[in-house]
Amino acid sequence: MERVKKLGLVLGIALLFIGIVYTAPQSFKPAVTPAVSQDVFTGNPVAAIASKSSPAVVNIDTKTLVRRSFSPFGDDPFLRQFFGDQMDMFSRVVPMEGKGSGFIVSPDGMILTNNHVVDGADSVTVTLADGRRFNAEIVGKDPTYDLAVIRIKAANLPVLKMGDSDRTQVGEWVVAIGNPFGLEHTVTVGVISAKNRSIRLERLNFDGFFQTDAAINPGNSGGPLINLDNQVIGINTAIVPYAQGIGFAIPINVAKQVMNDLVRFGRVKRAWLGVYMQPITPDIVEVFGLKSSEGALVSDVIPDSPAEKAGIQRGDIIRKAGNQTIKSPDDLSNAVRKQAAGDNLKLEILRDGKTLNLSAKLEEMPQERSLGADTQQRIGNRLGLQVGNLDPKNRQRFQLPALHGVVVLGVEDGSPAQKAGLQPGDVIQGVNGRAVRDLVSWERAMGQAGGKNVVLLVWREGRTTFVPLKAR
């Protein structure tokens, strides 16, 4: 009996050991669960958006040839007065590289990006998500909205669907995809923090930006801002460098119209009303006996403009444009920008205490009136001057009498203008014998002065003098 008990105990231990040996591997086998979502309550649409959208987001690499001085004295303007162009012997042309983002908007290779990504570039290279690289050509640029369209020779490319940015609300979740610091196809998430933000920079002057806290860094420019419906609602454009979580994107509805013009004409056919405006200050409210400071005060009307043809007069206060209430001059600028040349814009104005309703047929802004960054940069490169109209603000700033011409607002260090002795407050009244009355005639005269030698008729302190200079 004792033997039977011992035999049973041995058999039991053996069976237990066998069970452990054969069941142990099963206990260490990892459980496989479908990676449907990371949040068991709402799901994670970001992963799906990144997967579907990334193939249509591209990396943009640019090269720009610039001249750099290797002289121990640099490009000293004092020495250049004596040695002139011989100073260029101590310089060389070197390539500068830049990076940005963009996204494909048509299967045949049209790509939307920011103007500042490709502006001035001597070569533009696009890299797709699958690693293919293409040389790109610039179809058109618009510095006013900082948008550009480039094209690569390819077919059957994936595209991103554009949404309706007017329906976007503050607090909506958004996804940014781009190439920050060369880190390809980086995905960040945030919300729309605010709408209708204004940015005033040297090369960008725009109202209506989306503000977002989705991380945007250098290299993200031109990349898409996507909503949870996987639709592009904005184009990542700018950041506040000294802040955290403050980025700006151009609403896609603005980009649609600009893009169509760039593709069809290579430029934007921007609507034009033809008025100079100023805000309504408390002093103006008191003097004019107004009830509020809302509206845009017309300080001047350009002759033969749509505004003059519609009957708008100096001193009118524009309170409404189309369906948009006008609270400031910026509001009127935005209302006109949303229109196309040829559109009839209904205006509600206040004149002598009475409300009038007018209709202005907008025209295409004359090309010489388009005082965007390209024009200012071109003139600046030639003479080193920044000029402005002789409007009431500039007359008061420089204490100028009633004159025709353009006033010098700034002079670039080392420029031909500085060497010639021009200074802020000077009034230019002629270029190579052609009269200058305003910015329009100034740009026209400068465009006709094709050579390097330029002679300006300059008014200063009651006297005029001819100032010769050699444009760059």
At 301-313, the pLDDT tens digits run 888 889 999 999 9
Res 112: pLDDT = 94
Predicted local confidence at residue 349, as pLDDT: 93
Of 104-118, 170-184, 204-218, 320-334, the least confident: 204-218
For residue 360, give the 3-state DSSP assignment.
strand
Mean pLDDT of 207-215: 86
What is the pLDDT, as a whole number, of residue 380? 46
366-410 tens-digit pLDDT: 754 443 333 333 444 578 888 888 888 888 888 888 888 999 988
Please give the C-alpha separations between residue 299 and each of 15, 271, 332, 392, in angstroms, as whole numbers.
101, 20, 14, 8
User: What's the average model confidence in pLDDT over 112-121?
Assistant: 90
pLDDT per residue over 51-90, tens digit each? 899 999 999 999 887 666 555 555 555 555 555 555 555 5
- Token digits of residue 251: 């609403």
Q: Give dist(CA 338, CA 326) in Å, integer.
A: 14
> Whole-model pTM?
0.60
Residues with active-site annotation: 116, 146, 221
Cβ atoms within 10 Å of 175's Cβ, excluding its own: 20
Q: What is the mean pLDDT of the chain?
A: 79
Beta strands in 128-272 (DSSP E): 133-142, 147-151, 173-178, 186-200, 205-212, 224-227, 232-239, 247-251, 271-272
Q: Coil, strand or helix: which one is 458?
A: strand
pLDDT tens digits for 262-293?
888 887 878 889 888 888 888 788 777 888 88
**Which of left, alpha, beta for 295 (phi over 0: left; psi -120 to 50: alpha)?**
left
